[in-house]
Amino acid sequence: MTSFLYEEITAEETDILQEVMNIAFGKASADLAEVIDIYVVLNIPEISVMKATDIPCCLAREISRFDKISIVHQNYWGKFKGTAILVFPAKAGRELATLLDNGPDEGGELLDPAEMERDTLTEVGNILIGACVGKVAELLDDVITFSPPRILVDEESRQVVPAETFDARHSAILLKTLFTFEERDAGGFLFLLPNSTSFGWLKKALHTFMEQYL
């Protein structure tokens, strides 16, 4: 019988992680606002701990409000390693693309709208995921590298990560930030899924982060 290794994260550790995520996403929003003329309305990040195999259903529930979605999916490595998933309703990509649309390219060619949307999502994902995860790592004294992003546009709202990704023996932490773009009918979610092998390090790093203030 496979035993379930439930790694506890205490209430204090959850609070610290929430504050770390808050700071990191604030930085990410500011970075995005410097690139495109947009104002990101921030919400309080949510931290959930659950059985790893419950993650796909949990994510599906979160995004079920959208009929179709666009996803930026990126893995990151360091002592803090895991997966970042940026989810937008399908039209958000088109909305954001208009903010970056500078007209024809140097050759006088208008970019294909689908390509423009894809490029925009790549850029936005790069900034939000890169800045957010990078700032989490910085606050916890780690260095991160990233995989190239995987972009999916106009997908049916469904399981964003396959269930077999997760080890049934482990628990998982889901870090969720909901954000909206002011004056734009757009917004989305950023999910961070730290790898269960990071948990031990993460717990220590959170306490080390707080120790500087004690």
Partner 1 sequence: MIQKILVVDDSLVSRKIIKSCIPADRGYEIHEAVNGLEGVAKYKEIDPDVTLMDLTMPVMDGMQALEEIKAFDERAVVVVCTADVQMKTISRVMSRGALMVVKKPITRNAINDALYRAEQTITGHNRP
**Contact set with partner 1 (CB under 8 A):** 12, 15-16, 18-19, 22-27, 29-30, 33-34, 39-40, 42-44, 139, 210, 213-214
Name the token pair of 78.
């360091």
| CB of 24 or CB of 190, closer to partner 1 | 24
| CB of 1 or CB of 214, closer to partner 1 | 214
| CB of 32 or CB of 84, closer to partner 1 | 32
Please state, in angstroms and as integers, the Cα–Cα distance from residue 45 to each residue in 19, 54, 186, following that order.
8, 19, 18
Smallest gap from Cβ 5 to partner 1, in A, equals 27
| Surface-to-core class of residue 45, CB atoms within 10 Å of its CB (0-12 exposed, 13-18 middle, 19+ buried) | buried
Name the maximum alpha-carbon separation found in the chain. Answer: 64
Smallest gap from Cβ 138 to partner 1, in A, equals 10
| CB of 42 or CB of 90, closer to partner 1 | 42
DSSP 8-state code for residue 157: S
Element (H, E) at 179: strand 171-181
| CB of 29 or CB of 70, closer to partner 1 | 29
Smallest gap from Cβ 158 to partner 1, in A, equals 31
3-class DSSP state of 147: coil
Inter-residue contact 97 to 116 (CB < 8 Å): yes
Smallest gap from Cβ 39 to partner 1, in A, equals 5
Smallest gap from Cβ 22 to partner 1, in A, equals 5
